[in-house]
Amino acid sequence: MQVILSQTSGTPLYEQITEQLRAAILRGELAEGTQLTSLRQLARDLRVSLITTTRAYNDLAASGLIANVPGRGSYVLAVDREAARAEATRALRDQLGRAVGTAVTAGIEPTALHLLLDEAWNEQHDH
């Protein structure tokens, strides 16, 4: 699996790594038991600090998606798909709530907001 980072997105690099790996795990692209690239190798490959990759892996471990085994590496854990979907739904509701708040403040009507959502959806599926 390839991680692609953007230096201009405004999202911290460790969060970009975390989210891309989280998505790959939840989609099943990284199956249970898969050993992840070592922290040092990933840092070299992405040209980021070891602190950045360590934080990303620690966040994934805290979420219960991977296990960091000292001296052996990091491995993908079994995923409870229903629990993961429920967590994603809660996070999405929070994000959409903030987006609606921004739209209301800016005077953007629901139909225009729906169009923006459709554009964002299509951009994600074009990649």
What pLDDT sits at residue 127?
A: 58
pLDDT band at 102 (very low <50, low <70, confident <90, very high): very high
Give the strand pairing for 73-76 and 66-69. antiparallel
pTM above 0.75, yes or no: no
Question: Over 80: is that where the pLDDT of 114 sits?
Answer: yes
Contact 69, 79 (CB under 8 A): no
Q: Which residues of 52-63 are buried (b: 16+ CB within 10 A; e: fewer)?
A: bbbbbbbbbeee
CA angle 22, 25, 28 (to 5 degrees): 150
Residue 17 and residue 42: Cα distance in Å, rounded?
Answer: 10
Q: For residue range 36-60, what is the model confidence (pLDDT) as tens digits?
A: 999 999 999 999 999 999 999 999 9
